[in-house]
């Protein structure tokens, strides 16, 4: 029997995907927040979920280890999209990718063409493209998390990070100085799987699309 595998990260993406799965008649057998299992069955014999780190979702789908996945646009931009078909905007896990600095830092002067700043981020490719488009040279420092700390201890002048409520920036004396782009999560599909398992995948895509766009 053919079956399909959907890659999801736990936390906000899993939580916000549950209603979309429900609309497709899919109910996970377990909650990954409570279970240590990485492969989770569903009420449907031919649908299973694999629980991966958010940044790894496109990789699982690219290589066909998962047929479909749900990942933030932030993650997809960094991955580059090789081997992935379509990015259906599910409008979930919304936030924005921003530049932030310590309160009072003179960003306007720093970003003049020819200006040079140090920027810490986990989004190296996206940050590079953004600053290049402004004619700026930036020294990028790769971090894997807690970017908010970097300007506070002198590691960088600015950070490029996701912001949703702004609470984390405020709690650390930082301020948003520029929005780079709005972010939401997208459904991605392995190109070969879409052809080979079209009968199973297409109806799921249709339900997700209808539910996400509210039609
Ligand atoms: O947390 P972990 O290290 O395991 O991995 P991850 O951070 O990559 O995964 P996860 O599950 O936290 O995020 C998955 C996806 O959710 C991201 O790729 C985004 O597309 C999306 N998303 C939506 C967010 C946020 N909102 C968000 N607020 N991802 C992260 N944040 C973080 C942000 O980095 C910052 O540290 O929350 C903090 C800011 O939140 P506010 O509300 O204080 O502004
Ligand atoms: Mg996180």
**Is the same domain home to 72 and 127?**
no
> Do 80 and 128 have their domain in common?
no
Look at the chain and report how many structural domains it folds into: 2
What pLDDT, on the 0 to 100 scale, is given for residue 71? 98
Same domain, 175 and 196: no
Contacts of 15 (CB under 8 A, 6+ apart): none
CATH number of the domain residue 130 falls in: 3.40.190.10
Pairing of strands 39-41, 84-102: unpaired
Q: Looking at the structure, do residues 72 and 129 belong to the same domain, yes or no? A: no
Which residues form ligand 1's pocket by a CB distance below 6 Å? 9, 11-13, 53-55, 72, 74-75, 93, 95, 145, 161-168, 183, 185
Q: Are residues 104 and 53 part of one domain?
A: no
DSSP string over 106-134:
-HHHHTSTT-EEEEEES-HHHHHHHHHHT
CB 68 within 8 A of CB 7: yes
Over its C-alpha atoms, the chain yields an Rg (Å, rounded) of 19
State which residues form the domain around 191: 4-93+184-213
Pairwise CA distance, residues 103 & 151, whole Å: 10
207 and 163 in a single domain? The answer is no
pTM (2 decimals)?
A: 0.96
The pLDDT value given to residue 174: 98
Kindly give the distance from the C-alpha atom of residue 199 to the centroid of ligand 1, in angstroms, as a whole number.
34
pLDDT for the residue 116 = 85
Residue 170: how many other CB atoms lie within 10 Å: 12
Same domain, 168 and 125: yes
Q: Extract the residue ranges of the chain whose pLDDT is less than 70.
A: 215
């Amino acid at each position: 029997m053919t079956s399909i595998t959907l890659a999801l990260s736990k936390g906000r993406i899993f939580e916000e995907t549950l209603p979309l799965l429900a609309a497709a008649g899919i109910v996970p057998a377990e909650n990954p927040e409570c279970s240590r299992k990485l492969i989770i069955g569903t009420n449907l014999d031919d649908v299973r979920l694999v629980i991966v780190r958010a940044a790894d979702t496109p990789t699982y789908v690219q290589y066909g280890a998962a047929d479909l996945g749900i990942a933030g646009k932030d993650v997809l931009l960094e991955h580059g999209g090789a081997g992935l078909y379509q990015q259906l905007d599910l409008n979930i896990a919304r936030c924005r990718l921003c530049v932030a600095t310590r309160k009072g830092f003179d960003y306007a002067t720093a970003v003049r063409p020819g200006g040079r700043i140090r920027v810490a981020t986990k989004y190296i490719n996206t940050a590079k493209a953004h600053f290049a488009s402004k004619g700026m040279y930036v020294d990028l420092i790769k971090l894997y998390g807690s970017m908010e700390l970097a300007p506070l201890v002198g590691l960088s002048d600015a950070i490029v990070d996701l912001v949703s409520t702004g609470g984390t920036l405020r709690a650390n004396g930082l301020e948003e100085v520029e929005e780079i782009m709005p972010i939401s999560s997208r459904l991605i599909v392995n190109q070969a799987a879409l052809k080979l398992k079209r009968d199973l995948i297409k109806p799921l895509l249709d339900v997700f699309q209808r539910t996400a766009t509210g039609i």
